[in-house]
Structure 1
């Protein structure tokens, strides 16, 4: 098998570290590997597959000779992704910088792989919550088309990075030990006000934008339209941060354009690649974030009819947002390109 020169931008962060785990797990065919990060992280050593790699500061010339560039996310993508593409790399970018650019494909390989071939050097990885949702929606959409979606998310603190994880841990310890609780990170470190996440829920992820929706909510709406290439679907979202370390959960209410029973929905979902149906009320079987962390699949349960509309379904969807919601999806895009001779 042909091997490829690969660069990982953001190699020291959570998504970058997940890239490395998955490259080893999936035996990804790399030849040379460059680990890149900001000036602050440059010089660190990462031991990977029997070898020490020195993390380099990312510059435009870092991508000379690179064929696949996996970007873990962040504002630096806006500057360096075009530079990497100019030097012949295909960039698969996990930031929001290019997702809504009409010239950039927004891809979940199981859902819209046909978009990949239209890339011009950059392919965007969708938002983690969007990826998890469209994986569960796609087989239902193909079976009966979708008229309207109402989604509420329950998003883990690791979506805010290592700092979010550390803050939850520290706050739980403070509450248990009856010490004052410090809040410096959530809903977002960049916001002027912060709230306790331990034993609490925060109904704000990212900043508020148009009509008092958050940026995270608008990402789910706009990205889903683009991925399905169907702007007729009515979509509304409420995104919530919850005191869970890893794996996002979503309650999704779907109004269809035609009949699809819960049993038929379970059948089409169970046949869809990357989806596992966990749905047996008699056995109290349903997806939970604690048991889906570090899994590659998206889990779907609590599938039942919504009888308030002619063709309605409810479902509960859970997925590891660092794996399928980020690093795995990006790596699958690269794998698809290799398999189909698109790189």
Structure 2
């Protein structure tokens, strides 16, 4: 069986984990957490990076930092994971979905403005497959209407928009280090990037159960106390050690994934019965996903069955949130669903992971060619 994904292991993870165990400092914001955060701040040129237990936790932090309250509205695509909506729903917001672009599967920036009301508080673009949304347009809309922008860059680390790292363009950015992502913190993990000075000090408080423990650790106060709402949003240093091994090799990991992505593209580009991913010229992707689109849902399901008979695991992706029972209860879809449902039903993802061999990839390509016949 060729799996859809194998969690990334570089080989130095256990050495770093052993270092943490020997240190006796297992909890959050330890030695490796500090190294990871500094690495992101340096390489992505963000004002502040903070490791979290998950991208879900990062999004929840963002909702708290924006002071989302009942009655506020937050605009986002329906083609995303539930965490994107839940983080704001938990603060009482109404989720407003808008349609996606069929070429990138990202939020359609040209219809966001029509969805804005006096209650709109934020826009949450989701960078699908590590390909950036049109952030210049989105940031301009936000500026005109005095809105916050939270980038759901769960799939976006090491990708850029006009040479700016995804997650650093909006006021807050959120990364995922889940085992399905290009880089993992041992199965789960995330980071929140703070790109607006207003949020830096409060982010540290929200992340530490609503206390000023961070100031206590720095010697700025004699004892720490409850200051604000918050929760436990720190990543354990055991996980940070695992992540550090991968950040040290980030360039090599990214390069190998790009090679695999390009090999798929070159091999499949002549097959006119499927649609391949589109990457706008101003975007540099990170090869997080290679997907193809078939004619319709029946064609897609037939393709998945065909690949499965050859012991190759290919998978579809999100069921649009507005089509779910929770989406119908807690959100609304502004305008018409021209593309979200239709394009989601055509899409299937191919195996793509760092340790995928060239021979296994060629086998996948050969089996795909058999389907067309």
Q: TM-score, normalised by structure 2?
A: 0.29
Question: Whose strand fraction is larger, Structure 1's or Structure 2's?
Answer: 1
Q: Whose relative contact order is higher, 1 or 2, with alpha carbons under 8 Å and at least 6 apart?
A: 2
